[in-house]
Amino acid sequence: MGTALVITSGKGGVGKTTTTANLGAALALLNKKVCLVDLDLGLRNLDAVLGLQNRILYTIVDVIQGRAEVKQALIKDPDFKDLLYLLPAAQNADKNVLTAQSVKSVVEELKQDFDFVLLDCPAGIETGFENAVAGADGAILVTNPENSAVSDADRIVGLLEAKHLEFGPRLIINRIRKNLMNRGETMSVEEITDHLAIPLLGIVFDDDQVIVTSNRGELVTMQPDNPAAQGYRNIARRMLGDTVPLMSLTDAPNQVTEKDQSVSDTTTLKNDKSSEASTVDEPGKTNDSAEETVEPAEKNGSVDTNEVAVSNAVKTDEEDPPKKRGFWSRLFGRK
């Protein structure tokens, strides 16, 4: 039984769809079976970001209205063997065809077959948001380091907390521009996490390659040396329980350099107690979130982080399958 997470934001254009696609890909690279569900009816751009728009036969609306089975509507991403799938949205459908109950039942069915079901949520706090959250076990809130995005995210935090999802909301700060942040021209990571008061899952730098790849229907995550890709890959590893230090915020250009990698070992957030460090499941151990240690997982700058990630993920799979629920509760659970 998999876990369904809604990717939400409040404000539009902060990177929900980009995050859904790239995080899904990063989890698939770690051998997790992932289904991305486009719930942004009318806009339908997750398929284009994945380069799958020409393969759509049926959409979630066809499934909900009984014209297709879920399995008929799923599109396999050929770049990820059997690990990454999309359930597309309909471009012309009336948004009202989705209900909380219908979304929930489709998601429940997907959870039987997938490790993760990531729900790309429409902007705003209207019906589309309610429907997406209804199907979710937990939420990932995406924001930018801009005041308007953070204040919209703040409203969403309140709404999410009122839903009492199984896993409390986690934060991704997307499109960070180090130079602006370091000059104090945008809110800092610490200020944003303080303000929103939810644990940080990770940061993603603003990078031209995100736009370039997405326009080509490719995923930046597939470029391992790209700084934004590293952000998504780090987040995926944390979701699977790896301890991954935050990437460096101190160097001017958003480039991953050898120096960056070694600096990142020592860069952690003072106020983030939960998600930047996470522990491996141990029987009988009940610390709710991984507060105690930040182990430098990438101590050696020459380590191929992807290799480390894959081997750790496989290890986790082999060692802990029956305890998955408990593990997730500790990683994502409310305090």
Ligand X SMILES: Nc1ncnc2c1ncn2[C@@H]1O[C@H](COP(=O)(O)OP(=O)(O)O)[C@@H](O)[C@H]1O
The listed partner (ligand X, Mg ion, none) that binds 175, CB under 5 to 8 Å by sort, is ligand X
Pairing, β 3-8 against β 138-143? parallel
The listed partner (ligand X, Mg ion, none) that binds 297, CB under 5 to 8 Å by sort, is none
The listed partner (ligand X, Mg ion, none) that binds 15, CB under 5 to 8 Å by sort, is ligand X
Nearest Cα residue to 145 out of 97, 214, 195, 93 = 195
Residue type, 105: S
Q: Does 204 participate in binding ligand X (rule CB under 6 A)?
A: yes
Nearer to ligand X, 74 or 89 (CB): 89
Nearer to ligand X, 69 or 208 (CB): 208
Nearer to ligand X, 103 or 290 (CB): 103
Residue pointed to by tokens 């980009």? 18
The listed partner (Mg ion, ligand X, none) that binds 228, CB under 5 to 8 Å by sort, is ligand X
Residues 250 and 254: their CA atoms lie apart, in Å, by 10
Please list the helix, strand and coil fractions of the chain in percent, rounded to the nearest 5, in that order.
Answer: 45, 15, 45
The residues, any chain, with a CB within 8 Å of residue 246's CB and separated by 6 or more, are 189, 200, 202, 203, 264, 267, 268, 269, 276
Q: Which of residues 145-184 bind ligand X (CB under 6 A)?
A: 174-175
Q: Does 12 participate in binding ligand X (rule CB under 6 A)?
A: yes
Nearest Cα residue to 178 out of 227, 232, 238, 211 = 227
- Asked if residue 80 lies in contact with residue 40, where contact means CB atoms within 8 angstroms, the answer is no
Pairing, β 84-87 against β 34-38? parallel
Q: How far is the CB of 120 from ligand X (least distance, A)?
A: 7
Nearer to ligand X, 217 or 333 (CB): 217
Q: How far is the CB of 267 from Mg ion (least distance, A)?
A: 30
Nearer to Mg ion, 121 or 203 (CB): 121
208-216, 245-253, 261-269, 310-318 -> range binding ligand X (CB under 6 A): 208-216
The listed partner (ligand X, Mg ion, none) that binds 9, CB under 5 to 8 Å by sort, is ligand X
Collapse the DSSP code of 116 into the 3-class scheme (helix H, G, I; strand E, B; otherwise coil) and give the result.
strand
Nearer to ligand X, 1 or 211 (CB): 211
Residues that bind Mg ion (CB under 5 A): 16-17
Nearer to ligand X, 174 or 234 (CB): 174
Q: How far is the CB of 129 from Mg ion (least distance, A)?
A: 12
202-210, 242-250, 263-271, 295-303 -> range binding ligand X (CB under 6 A): 202-210
Q: Where are the beta strands (DSSP E) in 161-250?
A: 167-176, 200-205
Q: Hey, what are 145's tokens?
A: 């380091």
The listed partner (ligand X, Mg ion, none) that binds 174, CB under 5 to 8 Å by sort, is ligand X
Q: How far is the CB of 331 from ligand X (least distance, A)?
A: 24
Q: Hey, what are 301's tokens?
A: 């700058």
Sign of the alpha-carbon dihedral angle for 165, 322, 244, 203: negative
Instruction: Point out which residues bind ligand X (CB under 6 A).
Output: 9, 12-18, 123, 174-175, 204, 206-207, 210-211, 214, 228
